[in-house]
Amino acid sequence: MRNVRITLVLTLAASFWLGACGGAASPAGSGGTGGNSGTPPPSVAVNGAYTGSYTVSGQAATPVLGALSATSAGYFADSNGFVYILPAIPSSGTVSGTVTGYAPPGQAFSSGKTVQTFTVTGAATGATGSAISGTIAGGGINATFTLASKPIAASATLAGLAGSYTGFYTGSTQATLSLSLSSAGAITGFDSFGCSITGTLATAADGLFTITGNSSGNGCASDFTGMGFAATSDLANAFSGAAGTYVYVGASNASSAFAAELKHQ
């Protein structure tokens, strides 16, 4: 099922968890083996946005998108809406740790769980950690993954990003949300599920932002924390590649998670 594929993608995101031990679709299942050859550099910086894919043996690759940080939790999500949350990642050439994956509403991982942990092993290459590859496993899934860094608006400020945004939750072009961001970082808005969203966006390091907030309403996520970044291109192609300013966010709490792409209006 698509949800299983998402799990794999998110797992790939976990791989970004370089030396911190702690995010397309491929059903849970067997397959995917592989590893990394060569010696990774002694120190690489992995802060920033990444896109890539994970592959289960005999299945098509599943794309993922997310961000990693040396100072706060990162995230990855696949095109089916599965989200993976990773801890802060200090500079290191190796990838090893545990990542927590969250299935979107109404779906589950191949293990039948809606929250699943994965282990990842791999390495980063390039002086700036521009590429990451390795293997991921958990819940009956074994897969390989590859990731590549993407340019973000590293000099973006809260004042410069202030305004109105509309967009989609990752994995669906039907689940929409609309948010307003003040120059001080205050977030207000709503989504198509009937949830009222409030929160705060704060500047972190290397063009990344931290987010804290609340989604209130029947069946809504309640309190959440996460990460965001801005870019000048449609990295997930949710807006058919239209030019503009985009904000990407991934957030979670103990029982659920979400990722979204929003475009400045």
Instruction: Identify whether residues 128 and 214 lie together within a single domain.
Output: no
Report the pLDDT value the prediction gives residue 1, as an integer from 0 to 100.
35
Residue pLDDT tens, the chain, 265 long: 333 333 333 333 333 333 333 333 333 333 333 344 455 444 666 778 999 998 877 888 889 999 988 777 889 998 888 998 887 766 666 667 788 999 998 899 888 999 999 988 877 776 565 788 888 888 888 889 898 888 888 889 999 999 999 999 998 777 899 999 999 999 999 999 999 999 999 998 778 999 999 999 998 989 999 999 999 999 988 899 999 999 999 999 999 999 999 999 9
The pTM (predicted TM-score) of the whole model is 0.80
Query: d(Cα 165, Cα 115) in Å, to the nearest integer?
Result: 29
Instruction: Identify whether residues 124 and 208 lie together within a single domain.
Output: no
Instruction: Identify whether residues 113 and 164 lie together within a single domain.
Output: no
Give the Cβ contact number of residue 26 at 10 Å: 30
Instruction: Identify whether residues 143 and 223 lie together within a single domain.
Output: no
Query: d(Cα 264, Cα 69) in Å, to the nearest integer?
Result: 24
- 3-class secondary structure, 12: helix
Show the domain range for 108: 2-150
Instruction: Identify whether residues 35 and 118 lie together within a single domain.
Output: yes
- Long-range Cβ contact pairs of 213-220 (< 8 A, separation 24 or more): 213/187, 213/251, 215/191, 217/193, 218/194, 219/105, 219/193, 219/195, 220/193, 220/194, 220/195, 220/196
Instruction: Identify whether residues 123 and 171 lie together within a single domain.
Output: no
Report the pLDDT value the prediction gives residue 234, as an integer from 0 to 100.
93
Strand partners, 247: 230, 262
Instruction: Identify whether residues 131 and 192 lie together within a single domain.
Output: no
CB neighbour list of residue 69: distance below 8 Å, 6 or more residues apart? 47, 88, 89, 204, 205, 206, 208, 227
Instruction: Identify whether residues 92 and 123 lie together within a single domain.
Output: yes
Instruction: Identify whether residues 9 and 129 lie together within a single domain.
Output: yes
Query: d(Cα 213, Cα 252) in Å, to the nearest integer?
Result: 10
Instruction: Identify whether residues 9 and 52 lie together within a single domain.
Output: yes
- Count of domains forming the chain: 2
Report the pLDDT value the prediction gives residue 28, as an integer from 0 to 100.
34
Q: Which of 99, 119, 150 is the last residue of a domain?
A: 150
Q: Tell me, what amino acid is at 106?
A: G
- The structure tokens listed for 135 are 């293997």
Distances (CA, A) of 66 to 118, 170, 226: 17, 11, 11
- 3-class secondary structure, 158: helix
Q: Which of 94, 117, 150 is the last residue of a domain?
A: 150
CATH of the domain at 93: 2.40.160
The residue among 50, 53, 49, 6 whose CA lies nearest residue 27 is 6
Instruction: Identify whether residues 23 and 97 lie together within a single domain.
Output: yes
Q: Which of 89, 121, 150 is the last residue of a domain?
A: 150
Asked whether 130 and 148 are in contact (CB, 8 A), the reply is yes
Instruction: Identify whether residues 133 and 185 lie together within a single domain.
Output: no
Radius of gyration (Cα) for the chain, nearest Å? 17
CATH of the domain at 216: 2.40.128.10
Secondary structure E strands in the chain: 48-55, 62-68, 74-78, 83-86, 94-102, 115-125, 131-138, 141-150, 163-169, 176-181, 186-191, 196-203, 208-216, 222-231, 246-252, 257-264
